Amino acid sequence: MSQLFSPLEIGKLSLENRIVIAPMCQYSAEQGRATAWHRIHLGNLSLSGAGLLIVEAAAVQEDGRITPQDLGLWNDETEAALADVLKDIRQYSTMPLGIQLSHAGRKASTDVPWRGGGFLTPEQHGWQTKAPSALPFNDGDGTPHALSLAELDEVKQAFVESAKRADRLGFELIEVHAAHGYLLHQFLSPLANKRDDNYGGSLENRMRFVLEVFSAVRAAVPASKPVGVRISATDWVEGGWDIEQSVALSQALEAIGCDYMHVSSGGLAPQQQISVGPNYQVPFAEAVKKAVTIPVIAVGLITEPKQAEAVLHSQQADAVALARGMLYDPRWPWHAAAELGEKVQAPPQYWRCEPHEVKGLFKQ
According to DSSP, the β-strands at 13-15 and 8-10 are: antiparallel
DSSP 3-state of 235: coil
End-to-end CA distance of the chain: 18
**Residue 355 is assigned to a structural domain of this protein:** no
**Residue 39 is assigned to a structural domain of this protein:** yes
Number of separate domains in the chain: 1
Whether 117 and 111 have beta carbons less than 8 Å apart is answered as yes
- Mean pLDDT is lowest, of 164-168, 247-251, 276-280, 282-286, for 276-280
Residue 275, pLDDT above cutoff 90: no
- Nearest C-alpha neighbor of 190 from the set 142, 237, 129: 237
Catalytic residue among 27, 92, 182, 350: 182
According to DSSP, the β-strands at 173-178 and 145-146 are: unpaired
Average model confidence (pLDDT) for the chain? 97
**Residue 341 is assigned to a structural domain of this protein:** no
- For the residues 300-304, what does the mean pLDDT come to? 95
**Residue 287 is assigned to a structural domain of this protein:** yes
Tens-place pLDDT, residues 58-115 = 999 999 999 999 999 999 999 999 999 999 999 999 999 999 999 999 999 999 999 9
At residue 134, the pLDDT reads 98
Can 27 be counted among the known catalytic residues? no
Q: Which domain holds residue 124?
A: 8-330
**Residue 153 is assigned to a structural domain of this protein:** yes
At residue 324, the pLDDT reads 94
**Residue 354 is assigned to a structural domain of this protein:** no
Give how far Cα 129 sits from Cα of 101, 115, 150, 190, 206, Å: 18, 20, 16, 19, 20
Q: What is the CATH number of the domain that holds 289?
A: 3.20.20.70
**Residue 296 is assigned to a structural domain of this protein:** yes
Give 204's pLDDT tier (boundaries 50, 70, 90).
Answer: very high
pTM of the predicted model over 0.85: yes
**Residue 3 is assigned to a structural domain of this protein:** no
